[in-house]
C-alpha cells in the first residue's frame, strides 16, 4: 500500500491542473427567454419539450437514461447538441436527441444552453438504493472513489480527476462535469465509449480510458461519481491533491 501511494503521488504531481473549474462560467451565449420556452414547451412539431425527458429542473432521470443538464459546462452542452445534429454522436438510449438537435436552429441551441445554465436546483445524486430495488446492478462507491482519485494502475485506468477535476466536477470547457451526474447515464456513456458506440470525444481521449475499464470498474466509478460533491467539506476552494 505504501509503495502504491508513492507511485500515485508521482503521477498526481505530473498532472496539469487548470486554475479553477469553470463549470459555472457563463458566456453570454444566448437568449434565456427563448431557451426557456424551448425547454419547457418545445418548438413546433419536431422539438418536444426538453423537460419531458430531462426533467423540469434539468436533473435527468435514471429510468429514462437521461443526463442531468443542470450544472453542466455550457460549452460542453452546446458541443453535444452540435454533435448530435451532425450525427457525430448518436443517442443510443432513446434515439431521440439526433432529431431534436437537427430541428433546433444554431441560435436555438445557444438559447437553450443559456437557459440550462440558469437551472440551479441542488441535486444529491441518483438514489442508489432505489435503483438496487429495481434490480439495477449498482457498484461500490468506495471502490469508485479510488478510481476517480488515483485510477487503477494495475490495468491502465488513469485517475478520472486528472482530466475531469476534483470529484469529477469538470475542469474547463472541454472536460464535462461527471460528478453529480445520473448513475444510469454515466454507466451508459462509459459503456458506449468502451464499445465504440460513442466516438465524439476529442482525440479519442475518453475511448482510450473506457477501453481499460471492466464492467465492475464502470459500475464502481458511476456509483461514486453520482454522489460526488464539487468541493471538499470545509474547503470551498479548489482542493488539488485530494
Ligand atoms: C425523448 C426524450 C428527450 C428529449 C425530448 C430531449 N432529450 Fe436530450 N437526451 C435524451 C437522452 C436519452 C440522452 C442521452 C443519450 C445517450 O445516452 O446516448 C440525451 C442527451 C442530451 C444531451 C447530452 C448531455 C451530456 O451530458 O452529454 C444534451 C445536451 C441534451 N440531451 C439536451 C437536450 C435539449 C436541449 C432538449 C430539448 C431541445 C432535449 N435534450 C430533449 C433524451 C431526450
Ligand atoms: C485524458 C482525459 C480524460 C480522462 C483521464 C478521463 N476522461 Fe472522461 N472525458 C474526457 C473528455 C474529453 C470527454 C468529453 C467528450 C466529448 O467532448 O464529447 C469525457 C467525457 C466523459 C463522460 C461523458 C460525460 C457526459 O456528460 O456525456 C463520462 C461519463 C466520463 N468522461 C467519465 C470518465 C471517468 C469515469 C474517468 C475515469 C475512469 C474519465 N472520464 C477519465 C476526457 C477524459
Phi–psi pair at 78, nearest 5 degrees: -60, -40
C-alpha cell at 167: 470529484
Instruction: Identify which of 73, 93, 37 has the alpha carbon closest to the alpha carbon of residue 181.
Output: 73
Q: Please state, in angstroms and rounded to a whole number, the distance separating the CA atoms of residues 151 and 69.
A: 26
Smallest CA separation from ligand 2 atom 19, residue: 206
As a whole number of angstroms, the distance between CA 46 and CA 49 comes to: 10
pLDDT band of 8, cuts 50, 70, 90: very low
Q: Any idea which residue has 448518436 for its cell?
A: 90
Residue nearest to atom 9 of ligand 2 (CA): 206
Per the CB < 8 A criterion, the answer to whether 42 and 96 are in contact is no
Question: How high is the pLDDT of residue 2?
Answer: 38
For the segment 12-52, what is each residue's pLDDT rounded down to a tens digit?
333 333 333 333 344 468 999 999 999 999 999 999 999 99
Tens of pLDDT along 154-190?
999 999 999 999 999 998 889 999 999 999 999 999 9
CA distance 197 to 170: 23
Q: Which residues line ligand 1 (CB under 6 A)?
A: 38, 47-48, 50, 52-54, 65-67, 69, 72, 77, 80-81, 91-94, 96-97, 100, 104, 112, 176, 188
Smallest CA-to-CA distance from 113 within 39, 178, 42, 170 is with 39
How far apart are the CA of 67 and the centre of ligand 1, in A?
A: 7
Contact between residue 140 and residue 200 where contact means Cβ atoms under 8 Å apart: no
The b-or-e profile of 155-174 (16+ CB within 10 A means b, else e) is eebbbbbbbbbbbbbbbbbe
Give the residues surrounding ligand 2 with Cβ less than 6 Å away.
Answer: 67, 79, 147, 157-158, 160, 162-164, 174-176, 178, 186, 189-190, 200-202, 205-206, 209, 221
Q: Are 220 and 139 in contact (CB under 8 A)?
A: yes
Amino acid at each position: 500500500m505504501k509503495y502504491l501511494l508513492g507511485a500515485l503521488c508521482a503521477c498526481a504531481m505530473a498532472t496539469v491542473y487548470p486554475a479553477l473549474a469553470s463549470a459555472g462560467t457563463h458566456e453570454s451565449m444566448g437568449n434565456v427567454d427563448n431557451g426557456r420556452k424551448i425547454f419547457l414547451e418545445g418548438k413546433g412539431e419536431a422539438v418536444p419539450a426538453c423537460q419531458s425527458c430531462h426533467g423540469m429542473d434539468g436533473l435527468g432521470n435514471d429510468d429514462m437514461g437521461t443526463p442531468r443538464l443542470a450544472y453542466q459546462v455550457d460549452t460542453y452542452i452546446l458541443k453535444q447538441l452540435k454533435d448530435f445534429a451532425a450525427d457525430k454522436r448518436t443517442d443510443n438510449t432513446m434515439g431521440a436527441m439526433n432529431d431534436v438537435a437537427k430541428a433546433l436552429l444554431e441560435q436555438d441551441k445557444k438559447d437553450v444552453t443559456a437557459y440550462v445554465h440558469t437551472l440551479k436546483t441542488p441535486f444529491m445524486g441518483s438514489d442508489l438504493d432505489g435503483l438496487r430495488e429495481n434490480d439495477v446492478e449498482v457498484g461500490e462507491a468506495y471502490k469508485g472513489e479510488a478510481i476517480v482519485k488515483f485510477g487503477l494502475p494495475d490495468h491502465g485506468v488513469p485517475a478520472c480527476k486528472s482530466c475531469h477535476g476534483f470529484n469529477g466536477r469538470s475542469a474547463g470547457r472541454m472536460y464535462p462535469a461527471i460528478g453529480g451526474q445520473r448513475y444510469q447515464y454515466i454507466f451508459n456513456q462509459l459503456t458506449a465509449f468502451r464499445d465504440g458506440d460513442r466516438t465524439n470525444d476529442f482525440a479519442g481521449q475518453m475511448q482510450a480510458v473506457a477501453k481499460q475499464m471492466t464492467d465492475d470498474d464502470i459500475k464502481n466509478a458511476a456509483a461514486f461519481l453520482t454522489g460526488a460533491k464539487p468541493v471538499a467539506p470545509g474547503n470551498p476552494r479548489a482542493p488539488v491533491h485530494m
